[in-house]
């Protein structure tokens, strides 16, 4: 008797459902994406017990009629595709037709829906893909999906669900990503009968970002709006003064779909090299619009990963345009970087309109939470929700475009480390770290020399044979021209080894075998620019050669350092991303001494 058997349909459906529905957050994602695809402008998500007991998603989209309801829960039923060719032009978030059939295979599903042209709605219970108890009901336009008792029929899967708080965290993360990527949709999230957030759907992305990520992660974002012949990118990048210890605040969307693409993450992070501290990560919210023919969104069960066609070109162009935009907004950090504070003031009538204040004030006696923005020239009164986007428009006082180190008046040096200088015209005091500043000067000089050098190959007296594993061997064989370009003279030796006859002179006198392996390893992560291979060594050399903290330097040397900083591309940070200079205004000092309040 044969040991091989064909599984019954219900078992197949439950196995397939397990691939799509990993946890309650998976259901929330699939249902909300369906709501977005249905043209909804308002979506309410309610959960109880981390989504294990209840998930309710209500939208005001186009809704379904009776025939739609009867078909929607069948496996691979979809309104997004009609033929295989449609995969080349897909723009919707869902398209496989797996979500609803998978959900009803592992939970009890109730649906209430009405199309705008229908006089009444429809209610039905769905279990194991079978629509039961379908009946007419009064309902608003749109759809409500109610999911109860997740994994009630798969106790083993239910056992592996985490605590309610952990599942809540996953749901919140999914909704945050969907809300940020769809600012024109109002999202309301209710957890255990408590409203967690409620976005207004104003299409102003900065308001949504402010609501979900908070003012600390919003105030130092810069808008990005670029278009090439191949793609368009809009969104926000963090300035050099804003970074995090992980990638949790990196939001990437392609044609409106949230995706994870580590190549793009690395491309963006590379542009921040030497601008933010090592092992820190920039924040970004970017939406790439590209012809759907140039991407494959069907390579991952949750469609969270995509594949670009001609990806090297996209990464290179993206890196260039981001670097160009970043170069215009690198700022001098301030010791206290609060852009917006709520301050208790007696009354709007007591505000001195000529007082110099560069941050907004919230009035104590106003019931409508009016915000007053003041600067040297005017007072502006706006509503609080309007103030969210205005806050981001308040600029820092100082960036490279209008700043000259050589224009500063030297005052003195503190602790044999910090140079004090004054900008009398603008009432500002600057403190410069002599080591960090000199390190930046040396780093850019060394990097420039490296990039412009015609690399000399040092022939090895005794060529070295390097044995490789199959993957390494293929990478080496396919990239011989690349290795020659950066100064390695290599040839194929046999079916598993290469022979090194020369190494790049610019690396000094390295261990040729270990250096070659280091370069080979980095080919896997698409580091295809030779200066990136040398970057850490250039930083170390600049750090070693620079003036140290505690070294005594004279006024003439300070003047020379300031002139060299003026010629640097990024003079406000050292190669490690630490600030070379900080700014303190006269007002800030006078407030510390209580000369002004």
Bridge partners for 430 per DSSP: 421, 583
Same domain, 51 and 97: yes
Task: Specify if 340 maps to a domain.
Answer: no
Bridge partners for 64 per DSSP: none
Task: Specify if 378 maps to a domain.
Answer: yes
Question: What is the C-alpha to C-alpha distance for residues 29 and 519, in angstroms, rounded to an integer?
Answer: 40
Q: What are phi and psi of 129, to 5 degrees?
A: 80, 0
Task: Specify if 461 maps to a domain.
Answer: yes
Same domain, 504 and 560: yes
Question: What does the radius of gyration of the chain's CA atoms come to, in whole angstroms?
Answer: 30
**Cβ contact 401:328 at 8 Å:** yes
Instruction: Check residue 596 and give its pLDDT.
Output: 83
Same domain, 190 and 304: no
Same domain, 409 and 488: yes
Bridge partners for 103 per DSSP: none
Question: What is the C-alpha to C-alpha distance for residues 32 and 44, in angstroms, rounded to an integer?
Answer: 9
Task: Specify if 332 maps to a domain.
Answer: no
Same domain, 362 and 412: no
- H-helix segments, 126-163: 155-159
Bridge partners for 135 per DSSP: 123
Task: Specify if 343 maps to a domain.
Answer: no
Bridge partners for 194 per DSSP: 191
Same domain, 127 and 231: no
Same domain, 146 and 244: no
Same domain, 354 and 320: no
Same domain, 88 and 193: yes
Coil, helix or strand for 241?
Answer: coil
Give residue for tokens 């010791």.
335
Coil, helix or strand for 235?
Answer: strand
Please count the structural domains in the chain. Answer: 4
3-state helix, strand, coil in the chain (%, to 5): 35, 25, 40
Beta-strand relationship, 231-238 and 489-492: unpaired
Instruction: Check residue 369 and give its pLDDT.
Output: 44
Question: What is the C-alpha to C-alpha distance for residues 306 and 303, in angstroms, rounded to an integer?
Answer: 7
How many CA atoms does the CB half-sphere of 405 hold within 13 Å?
A: 27
Instruction: Check residue 371 and give its pLDDT.
Output: 44
Residues ≥6 apart with Cβ < 8 Å to 28: 45, 47, 51, 55, 57, 171, 174, 175
Task: Specify if 339 maps to a domain.
Answer: no
Report the CATH number at residue 288.
3.30.230.10
Task: Specify if 300 maps to a domain.
Answer: yes
Bridge partners for 480 per DSSP: none
Beta-strand relationship, 42-48 and 186-191: parallel
Instruction: Check residue 359 and give its pLDDT.
Output: 43
Report the CATH number at residue 566.
3.30.1540.20
Same domain, 188 and 225: no
Same domain, 523 and 389: no
Best CA proximity match to 585, nearest among 219, 331, 334:
334
Q: What is the DSSP letter of 331?
A: B
Task: Specify if 203 maps to a domain.
Answer: no
**Cβ contact 369:362 at 8 Å:** yes
Give the chain's count of helices (H) and strands (E): 17, 25
Question: What is the C-alpha to C-alpha distance for residues 558 and 565, in angstroms, rounded to an integer?
Answer: 10
Work out whether the CA dihedral 366, 369, 375, 380 comes out positive or negative: negative
* Last residue in a domain, options 198, 233, 259: 198
Same domain, 57 and 180: yes
What is the domain extent for residue 240? 214-326
- Record the tokens describing residue 366, joined without a space: 């106003």
* Last residue in a domain, options 173, 198, 223: 198
In degrees, rounded to 5, the angle at the alpha carbon of residue 383 between the alpha carbons of residues 380 and 389 is 85
Per run of 10 residues, the mean pLDDT along the chain (length 597 residues) is 59 58 92 93 97 96 91 66 46 57 90 94 89 92 95 86 92 94 95 94 85 84 86 90 88 90 87 86 92 70 66 79 79 57 33 38 42 40 46 50 88 93 92 94 80 75 89 85 79 92 69 75 54 64 80 91 93 90 91 84
Distances (CA, A) of 99 to 93, 467, 563: 12, 48, 62
At 583, which helix (H) or strand (E)? strand 581-585
Give residue for tokens 């060299």.
564
């Amino acid at each position: 008797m044969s040991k091989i058997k064909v599984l019954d349909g219900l078992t197949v459906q439950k196995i397939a459902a397990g691939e799509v529905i990993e946890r309650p957050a998976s259901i929330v994602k699939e249902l909300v994406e369906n709501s977005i695809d249905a043209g909804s402008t308002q979506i309410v998500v309610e959960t109880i017990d981390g989504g294990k007991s209840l998930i309710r998603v209500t939208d005001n989209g186009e809704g379904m009629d009776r025939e739609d309801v009867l078909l929607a829960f069948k496996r691979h039923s979809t309104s997004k595709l009609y033929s295989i060719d449609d995969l080349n032009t897909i723009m919707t978030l869902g398209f496989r037709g797996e979500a609803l059939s998978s959900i009803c295979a592992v939970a009890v599903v109730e649906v209430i829906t009405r199309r705008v042209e229908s006089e009444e709605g429809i209610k039905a219970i769905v279990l194991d893909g079978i629509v039961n108890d379908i009946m007419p009901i009064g309902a608003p336009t749109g759809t409500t999906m109610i999911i109860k008792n997740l994994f009630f029929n798969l106790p083993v899967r239910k056992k592996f669900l985490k605590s309610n708080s952990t599942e809540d965290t996953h749901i919140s993360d999914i909704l945050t990503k969907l809300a940020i990527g769809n600012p024109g949709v109002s999202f309301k999230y209710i957890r255990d009968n408590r409203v967690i957030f409620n976005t207004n759907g104003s299409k102003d992305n900065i308001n949504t970002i402010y609501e979900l990520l908070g003012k600390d992660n919003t105030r130092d974002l810069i808008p990005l709006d670029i278009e090439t012949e191949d793609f368009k990118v809009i969104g926000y990048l963090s300035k050099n003064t804003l970074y995090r210890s992980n990638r949790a605040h990196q939001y990437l969307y392609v044609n409106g779909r949230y995706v994870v693409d580590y190549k793009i993450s690395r491309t963006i992070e590379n542009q921040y090299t030497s601008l933010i501290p090592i092992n820190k990560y920039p924040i970004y919210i970017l939406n790439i619009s590209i012809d759907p023919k140039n991407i494959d969104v069907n390579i991952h069960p949750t469609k969270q990963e995509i594949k670009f066609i001609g990806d090297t070109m996209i990464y290179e162009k993206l890196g260039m345009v981001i670097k160009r935009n970043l170069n215009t907004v690198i700022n001098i950090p301030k010791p206290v970087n609060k852009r917006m504070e709520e301050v208790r003031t007696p009354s709007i009538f007591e505000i001195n309109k000529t007082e110099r204040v560069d941050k907004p004030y919230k009035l104590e006696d106003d019931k409508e939470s009016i915000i007053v923005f003041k600067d040297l020239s005017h007072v502006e009164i706006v509503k609080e929700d309007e103030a969210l986007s205005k806050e981001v428009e308040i600029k820092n006082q100082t960036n490279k475009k209008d700043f000259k180190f050589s224009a500063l008046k030297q005052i003195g040096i503190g602790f044999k480390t910090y140079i004090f200088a004054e900008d009398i015209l603008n009432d500002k005091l600057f403190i410069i770290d002599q080591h960090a500043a000199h390190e930046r000067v040396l780093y850019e000089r060394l990097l420039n020399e490296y990039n412009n050098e015609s690399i000399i190959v040092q022939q090895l007296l005794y060529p070295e044979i390097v044995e490789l594993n199959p993957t390494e061997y293929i990478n080496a064989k396919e990239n011989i021209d690349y290795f020659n370009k950066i100064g390695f003279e290599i040839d194929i030796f046999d079916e598993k080894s290469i022979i090194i006859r020369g190494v790049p002179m610019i690396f000094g006198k390295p261990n040729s075998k270990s250096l070659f392996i280091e370069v080979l390893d980095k080919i896997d992560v698409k580091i295809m620019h030779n200066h990136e291979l040398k970057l850490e060594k250039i930083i170390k050399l600049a750090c070693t050669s620079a003036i140290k903290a505690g070294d005594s330097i004279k006024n003439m040397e300070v003047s020379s350092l300031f002139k060299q900083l003026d010629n640097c591309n990024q003079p406000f940070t050292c190669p490690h991303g630490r600030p070379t200079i900080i700014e303190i205004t006269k007002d800030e000092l006078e407030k510390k001494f209580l000369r002004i309040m």
